């Protein structure tokens, strides 16, 4: 927690929602390019994953400049999964921006203007900063709170290392942080003197025998050595787009929270985008992927193949495990048949829907009945088209 002007800043924990590719944690390829059929959430696509692993090596050696990768294949064959696996294999500090082609459509913004932030979001910058940090083991903590609940809160905090021990006076904001994090004697903490941010590093190893049972989140660390106040180098990874947003508004950092940096009106044109061949914009030439041939010649192509029935079942099982949904073997089999008639994304969406029905029926596992009920409730693309065609006279044209 810190104060910038009259605005109080709080650290926000990044939350990654469970989606279609949340179960992917990498490419599942070893350093010697050996890989298993199922690894790191990836299933099948052996040749495509090996090619993607080569691309990762090229990026890590710094020789990717001036090169691009084109992943092509039928819908539902794992193109986005391969791209997500490449991003995971490169590490968290590597910016990864996923943009759907159907999003680049706007009356207010040109395509170049919409693509520029996406490119700048994909360019990361490391900023090194030296900060004064107080680090030590909590010997004792005393907090005085007014009985009425109104008024300043004060307290005293005693920190120690293997070499020294010091007592600090706490203000109301530091007391609030200690209460929120439930700091107690035996915790090893860090306090950033510049921002006033308090972080619990873990529990002192000396206190490991205080309790017979500990939660899985409890981490034991040794007591710090040397001085309590030390200077540390902190590396912040930001992208160029975030720097642009901060510098482009008179209110500075407030632009990050305004949400008015440029809105794109989305219009879904996937039907024309997913055609194998199309007319290159501005010409009369029909080419693969709607791209000029000279551009395609400069790209490295990775092809994906349709999944087999067994691979579809494994993917659905991994997705269900990621969402914490227990499913019977018969339900997985029914989902596999459903994916063959509809699409992979529709099948994954049915997992969450069927789990809600399972909870209402108070069952332990998702069965065929919940899958069938969810299938009747939610239409896929083909059934929607049939319904609209059959009732076209009842709709405005």
pLDDT in tens, 41-75: 788 888 888 888 888 888 888 777 777 888 888 87
pLDDT level of residue 280 (50, 70, 90 thresholds):
low
- Helix (H) / strand (E) element for 383: namely helix 381-390
pTM over 0.85? The answer is no
pLDDT level of residue 149 (50, 70, 90 thresholds):
low
Average pLDDT over residues 14-21: 56
Query: CATH 1.10.8.60 occupies which residues in the chain?
Result: 309-390
Q: Which of 75-84, 87-96, 254-263, 332-341 has the lowest mean pLDDT?
A: 254-263
Annotation: CATH topology of 11-99+277-305: Rossmann fold (3.40.50)
Nearest of 375, 378, 292 to residue 337 by alpha carbon: 375
For residue 146, count CB atoms less than 10 angstroms from its CB and return exposed for 0-12, middle for 13-18, buried for 19 or more.
Answer: exposed
Distance CA 321, CA 330 (A): 16
- Looking at residue 361, its pLDDT comes to 85
DSSP-derived 3-state class of residue 161: coil
Encoding tokens for residue 64? 């990717």
Query: CATH 2.40.50.360 occupies which residues in the chain?
Result: 106-265
Domain 309-390 has CATH 1.10.260.40: no
Q: Which of 13-22, 349-358, 380-389 has the lowest mean pLDDT?
A: 13-22
Average pLDDT over residues 277-288: 64
pLDDT level of residue 342 (50, 70, 90 thresholds):
confident
For the structural domain made of 106-265, what CATH number should be given?
A: 2.40.50.360
Residue 373 has pLDDT above 70, yes or no: yes
Query: CATH 3.40.50.300 occupies which residues in the chain?
Result: 11-99+277-305
Residue 253 has pLDDT above 70, yes or no: no
- Looking at residue 281, its pLDDT comes to 64
């Amino acid at each position: 927690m810190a104060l910038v002007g009259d605005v109080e800043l709080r650290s926000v924990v990044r939350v990654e929602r469970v989606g279609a590719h949340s179960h992917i944690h990498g490419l599942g390829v070893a350093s010697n390019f050996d890989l298993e059929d199922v690894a790191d959430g990836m299933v099948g696509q052996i040749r495509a994953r090996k090619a993607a692993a080569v691309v990762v090596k090229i990026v890590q050696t710094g020789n990717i400049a001036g090169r691009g990768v084109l992943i092509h294949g039928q819908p539902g064959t794992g193109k986005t999964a391969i791209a997500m696996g490449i991003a995971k294999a490169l590490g968290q500090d590597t910016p990864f921006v996923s943009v759907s082609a159907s999003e680049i459509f706007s009356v207010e913004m040109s395509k170049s203007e919409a693509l520029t932030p996406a490119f700048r979001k994909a360019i990361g910058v490391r900023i090194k900063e030296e900060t004064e940090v107080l680090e030590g083991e909590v010997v004792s903590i005393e907090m005085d709170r007014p009985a009425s609940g109104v008024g300043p809160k004060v307290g005293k905090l005693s920190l120690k290392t293997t070499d020294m021990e010091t007592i600090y006076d706490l203000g109301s904001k530091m007391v609030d942080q200690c209460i929120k994090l439930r700091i107690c004697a035996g915790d090893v903490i860090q306090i950033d003197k510049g921002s006033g941010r308090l972080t619990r590093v873990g529990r002192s190893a000396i206190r490991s025998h205080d309790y017979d049972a500990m939660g899985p989140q409890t981490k034991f660390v040794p007591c710090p050595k040397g001085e309590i106040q030390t200077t540390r180098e902190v590396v912040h990874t930001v992208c160029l787009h975030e720097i642009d947003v901060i510098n482009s508004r008179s209110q500075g950092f407030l632009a990050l929270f305004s949400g008015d940096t440029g809105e794109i009106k989305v219009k879904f044109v996937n039907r024309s985008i997913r055609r194998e061949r199309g007319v290159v914009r501005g010409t009369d030439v029909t080419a693969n992927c709607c791209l000029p041939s000279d551009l395609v010649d400069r790209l490295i192509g990775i092809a994906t193949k349709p999944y087999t029935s067994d691979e579809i079942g494994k993917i659905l099982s991994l997705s269900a495990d990621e969402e914490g949904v227990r499913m019977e073997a018969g339900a997985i089999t029914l989902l596999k048949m459903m994916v063959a008639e509809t699409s992979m994304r529709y099948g994954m969406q049915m997992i969450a829907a069927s789990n809600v029905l399972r909870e209402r029926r108070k069952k332990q596992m998702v069965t065929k009945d919940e899958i069938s009920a969810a299938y009747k409730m939610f239409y896929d693309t083909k059934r929607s088209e049939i319904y609209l065609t059959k009732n076209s006279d009842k709709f405005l044209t």
